[in-house]
Amino acid sequence: MSLARLQSRAPNGLDAPPVCVEIHLSGGLPSFTIVGLPEAAVRESRERVRSALINSGFDFPARRITANLAPADIPKQGGRFDLPIALGILAASGQIKPAAADLPGEYLGELGLGGELRSVTGVLPSVLAAKASNRTVMLPEPNFAEASLVEGANLLATESLIQAAAHLSGSTPIAEQTGGQSPLQPKERSLGRDLGDVYGQPFGVRSLEIAAAGGHSLMMVGPPGCGKTMLAETLAGILPDMTSGEALDTAAVYSVSHLGFDSRHWQRRPFRAPHHSASAAALVGGGPRVTPGEISLAHNGVLFLDELTEFSRHVLDQLREPLESGSVTLARAERTVRYPSRFQWVSAMNPCACGYNGERSGRCRCTSEQVRRYQSRLSGPLIDRVDLHVRLQSVDPIALQADKPPSQSTAEVKGRVHSARERQLARTGRINACLTQRDLGRAAKLDSASQRFLEAAVRQLGLSLRGHYQILKVARTIADLEGVDTLGEEHLAEALQYRAMDQMNPGSLN
């Protein structure tokens, strides 16, 4: 036969649209043409496939070869089409003899010049789509650990073009393996600090526990060296362990990113801390291939923005929609890609340019106008989306050396956080930070005295409707940590303590 068809998948964010690789051999002057909107790496496949076939002991047909990647309106990227193109040439030229022109299964893999198969990016979305279509996937051996995370997927791990051709010809079949049979075991749940290393910040530790229990965003305001960064680095460790579904979602994002999937990070909560010089595309995602940004790489984990006021205001305002929706949609001329971004946002900033405004030592010499100008680097709508605003004070190192207060370990706090989240999921099926107004009506009922107390506080602080609901969500989390079902004034009073930006300079943010 002079025609062969194989199935593959194109990368498009977390989607993997099917691609039919058609190979046709015809008479005429020898040539090798790839059509179907291929990018540069796909066009270069001609040279890789030619060398791989020859060095693997096969004949490269001296004929007019046309490789069509259909449908033609989907951009094709990367070297993943090397394997199906090479196998299609072998089938069309009769060097392997399948039963029909359409070879079964799906094929992914980049070829080395010697015929060895190399790993490709974006394997998880492709394997998930192939499983939904009930098809077996042939892929490089280095990608097998990643692909095997998909439970029930039928996989053929292949080391070389020779091995793949021998399987299709029937001479040496490859044993089919099923995903999920030997799941990866995480070596470490988190690389963050232990809470036992934190001294002298009981208010900060308490706010961190509340944030972890309810999934709330947290902003820490305090002078340099008071422990803001150290506290943030402990958050990933006190969050509940990831479920298999959460781990697979996060692994899929890394699979299509420039970082790639690392099996050592399986079921580990991601902790991302981009530098304040990061661009909007680096934070939200984008670029020529529309890859995920930091907010998607932090999906199901923690995004920490240190020195928050040093970030560009334009860059920070890109966080508004993802914080509300839990996803980001990147629209470009050729494609529209959606990435999940359900992260826990933690940030740290100084109260003024010198960093000591409001300190008991009186070291700050900033005028009220300088403080207002410094804090106005952050937009009001962004600050309004933060659930917990915490003001931290400096720790006296001499007093700390003389009498170190007892500290709680990460394991102790994590146990309470886990219990609180179980209560939330049993009550509404979601964590408190994601409660809707209707959910709050059922989960955070107030008696008349508590309602009057909350209304007075909202009027005094000038909170928005969103801020009002945030107070209720945080109070509900505080009650869950105590294991009580009814909200009281004490829970609301504590929740109101975590509105430092509203209390420091009301109306200074625009």
71: cis peptide before it, omega within 30°?
Answer: yes
Q: Label residue 1 by pLDDT band (50, 70, 90).
A: low
The token pair at 83 is 């394997």
CA distance 387 to 345: 10
Confidence of residue 300 (pLDDT cuts 50, 70, 90): very high
Q: Compute the average pLDDT of residues 256-270.
A: 89
**456-490 burial: b if 16+ Cβ within 10 Å, else e:** ebbeebebeeebebbbbbbbbbbbbbeeeeebbee
Most confident of 68-72, 189-193, 405-409, 466-470: 68-72
Token digits of residue 72 = 């033609």
pLDDT at position 418 is 95
Grade residue 506 by pLDDT with cuts at 50, 70 and 90: very low
Residue linked to tokens 């804090």: 375
Q: What is the rounded distance in angstroms from the CA atom of residue 37 to the CA atom of residue 76? A: 6
The region of weakest confidence among 185-194, 297-306, 308-317, 450-459 is 185-194
Give the separation between CA 162 and CA 172, rounded to whole angstroms.
10
Please choose, from the candidates 249, 258, 173, the residue with its C-alpha nearest in 3D space to the C-alpha of residue 14: 249
**pLDDT (tens digit, 9 = 90+) per residue, 226-259?**
889 999 999 999 999 999 899 999 999 999 999 9
Percent of the chain at pLDDT > 90 equals 67
Q: Which residue has the higher pLDDT, 360 or 435?
A: 435
pLDDT given at position 405: 59
Lowest mean pLDDT among 270-274, 350-354, 361-365: 361-365
Question: Which pLDDT does position 502 carry in this prediction?
Answer: 57
Give the per-residue pLDDT at 138: 97
| pLDDT, tens digit, 9 for 90 and up, residues 342-359 | 999 999 999 999 988 888
Residue predicted with more confidence, 172 or 403: 172
Residue 135: closest CA among 279, 18, 3: 18
Mean pLDDT of 52-67: 96
309 pLDDT tier (thresholds 50, 70, 90): very high
Local confidence band at 509 (pLDDT 50, 70, 90 cut-offs): very low
Q: How many Cβ atoms from other residues are within 10 Å of residue 31's Cβ?
A: 11
Write down the pLDDT at residue 395.
80
Confidence of residue 510 (pLDDT cuts 50, 70, 90): very low
460 pLDDT above the threshold of 90: no
Whether the predicted pLDDT of 271 surpasses 50: yes
pLDDT greater than 90 at residue 437: no
507 pLDDT more than 50: no
How many helices and strands in the chain, by DSSP H and E? 22, 19
Q: Averaged over 258-276, what is the pLDDT?
A: 91
Average pLDDT in the 406-415 region?
83
Q: Are 127 and 137 in contact (CB under 8 A)?
A: yes
Bridge partners, residue 384, by sequence: none
Mean pLDDT of 379-398: 86
What is the pLDDT, as a whole number, of residue 255? 94
In the predicted structure, residue 183 carries a pLDDT above the cut 60: no
**Are 378 and 313 in contact, with CB atoms under 8 Å apart?**
yes
* Mean pLDDT, the chain, integer: 89
Per-residue pLDDT, 503: 54
Q: Kindly give the residue spans of alpha helices, DSSP state H, lying in 141-183.
A: 144-147, 161-169
User: Does residue 54 register a pLDDT over 50?
Assistant: yes
Question: What's the mean pLDDT in 260-268?
Answer: 87
In angstroms, the Cα distances linking 330 to 301, 340, 341, 446, 465 are: 21, 11, 12, 41, 29
Dist. CA 216–CA 470, nearest whole Å:
9
Asked if 31 and 65 count as a contact pair (C-beta separation under 8 A), the reply is yes
Compute how many other C-beta atoms are within 10 angstroms of the C-beta atom of residue 451. Answer: 12
Q: Are 199 and 402 in contact (CB under 8 A)?
A: no
* Residue 158 near residue 201 (C-beta atoms within 8 A): no
Question: Looking at residue 400, what is its pLDDT?
Answer: 65
Most confident of the following: 189-193, 296-300, 452-456? 296-300
